[in-house]
Amino acid sequence: MYDAVIVGAGAAGLSAALGTLRSVEIRGLLDAGIEPKILVISKLQPLRSHTGSAEGGIAASLGNVEADDWHWHYYDTVKGGDWLVDQDAARLLAQYAPQTVINLERDGVAFSRTDDGHIAQRRFGGHTRDFGGEPVRRAAYAADRVGHQILHTLWQQCVAAGVEFAEEWYVTDLALDADRSRVAGVVAYDTHTGDVHAIHARNVLLATGGAGRLFHTTSNSWDLTGDGMALALAAGLQLEDIEFVQFHPTGLAHTGILLSEAARAEGGVLRNADGEAFMATYAPEHRDLAARDVVSRSIMTEVDAGRGVADPKDPNGPKDCVWLDMTGIDKDHMEAVLPQVVETIRKYASIDPATDWVPIKPTAHYTMGGIPIDTEGRVYRWSRDESGNTGRNVVEGLFAAGECSCVSVHGANRLGGNSLLDACLFGNRAGLSMAARIAEHPTADPAGDEIGQADDEAYTALDAAATARKDEVTALLSRDDGADGEIADDNPYQVLADLGRVMERAVAVRCSADTIATALDTLQDEFRPRTNALHAHSDMAAFNQEITAIWESRHLVALAEAVLKASDARHESRGSLTRLDYPARDDERFLAHSMSDRDGILWQPVHIVDYPPKARAY
């Protein structure tokens, strides 16, 4: 039995762990001789978490380089999200961003510096002064490795604080009580031994990251398979705004590897096959530093118009790329502030960005939607009763943070620099919320309450889930020989590759009812039977990565269905979702969050506080 189990060890999970341990409540327990039991479970060694790949910056109105105001950041976040942002949450994001960045610095993040020693800041797409005016330098950065700096710093602080980690354990089940009102714990698979464990917990926080591997071309690492979102769906919970998946404009051609927005902030220019700097046509004021969805759509429009280029490594292939021209950036400056971008281009494209144009195309980058949470990190279900009354029903003891969650600060499109901020800020807030619950009933308190019948039933259900999962592992490891004595050739890696291509054709950057319907039929007719039939090709339980890959493939198929159905239900174009058959934004019917579960979709109104919807242009 644990006081809290945190699933995921990226910026959100580690921030939550630190927020919990540093809270007034937990310090009070420690002073009273009661030590809370907190466990962080990660399917990776924490320093391999995807946070480490974040490159460009973390947004905060520090005003270190030029005048800035958190109200401007607040407005830009709302506008960037195409008014699908809950403004009470966005206000907190912007208001506490400077404090978040300063606290990261105090913990040890080595930010780049101005000449006078302050944290350096650069421009990022969609960040402006004076409520939509000129671009402003708001992104605090550490060359182009800020995620690496933040991840290592948070991990070091957790190690110093004595946080307990279960590394390379894979969570397979989220256990709730019978009416889905309270969490009971998780089931986890130890990849080192092949053992399945039932982990009882009074509080669980999901911080498992995004789902970029839904798509063939993605900037996400292999581990971002939507696990936390799929666990929530399987437990009967909802996903909010899951149809909104951001495609970053500058993925290195056909590898999908991210070339940071910082490359354009430092002077990089997008050009079509004719050498034209085309963003001047689509976003006259902000050009290459318009919001990411605007730039990605503009690239695809150029490609569709026949002004795309082929990847030089595949000159006879499709002309589905454009050029990123960085030759106007001073070479020494480029090496100093964009070392990772330069190294990536040289290593994977075999060209020198100081002298050659770089082929790029939009790459699946960030999941705006996810597990619905309030501003304290508490997971809830949105419901409507027979009388039409609606409301949020909080799941007691269940929290989420980071990309797997949706507090709706990103709405329909995330601004660059806001993801690290979201993970650290709301991860910390969720940790503080958990700390308050832990202090009420710590497991190590000898005077604590006896276990109730409802708790006992939930924990019994958790143990049953663990037993069922053990039986499944045994079945997956058994050799399913056919009549010819050979194991079926299909495997989860091929399934994931095929699924990525289907999703890319269906909803990458643009979609229609026809593309969505085709993909849904393919999921039902092909992918569900394939994933259900998968078996491991080795009968060894220890270090058998195919076991977890099978679960990941099933998670992504379930998540793909949710993305497609939510995309189909939203009859408008907003932010990252471009419906070719519904090209206009429809505030009258769809200024609302989609709340998807296995039974269908409900609609939750957006929280409008300070900025009523208006036309969005850059």
Q: What does the block give as tokens for 471?
A: 């039986």
Residue at token pair 């762990």 = 17
Q: What is the C-alpha separation between 129 and 141, in angstroms, rounded?
A: 19
Q: What does the block give as tokens for 574?
A: 């907003």
Q: What is the C-alpha separation between 547 and 550, in angstroms, rounded?
A: 5
Q: What does the block give as tokens for 262?
A: 């910082």
* Catalytic status, residue 292: yes
What is the 3 state secondary structure string of 203-227? Answer: CEEECCCCCHHHCCCECCCCCCCCH
First vs last C-alpha separation in the chain: 52
Q: What is the C-alpha separation between 146 and 57, in angstroms, rounded?
A: 6
Q: What does the block give as tokens for 571?
A: 């009859």
Q: What is the C-alpha separation between 13 and 424, in angstroms, rounded?
A: 9
Q: Do residues 51 and 423 lie in contact, with contact meaning Cβ atoms separated by under 8 Å? A: yes
CB-based burial, 576-604: b 16+ in 10 Å, e otherwise: bbbbeebeebebeebbebbbbbeeebbbb
Q: Do residues 35 and 2 lie in contact, with contact meaning Cβ atoms separated by under 8 Å? A: no
Helical packing angle, 492-507 and 513-522, nearest 10°: 160
Q: Report helix, strand or coil for 379.
A: strand
Q: Do residues 326 and 268 lie in contact, with contact meaning Cβ atoms separated by under 8 Å? A: yes
Specify the DSSP class assigned to residue 366: E
| Pairing status of strand 121-128 against strand 183-190 | unpaired
Please pick, among 202, 292, 378, 585, the residue that the annotation labels catalytic.
Answer: 292
Residue at token pair 């899951």 = 242
How is the beta sheet containing 390-400 ordered, strand by strand?
A: 164-167, 38-42, 4-7, 204-206, 390-400, 378-384
Q: Which residues are catalytic?
A: 292
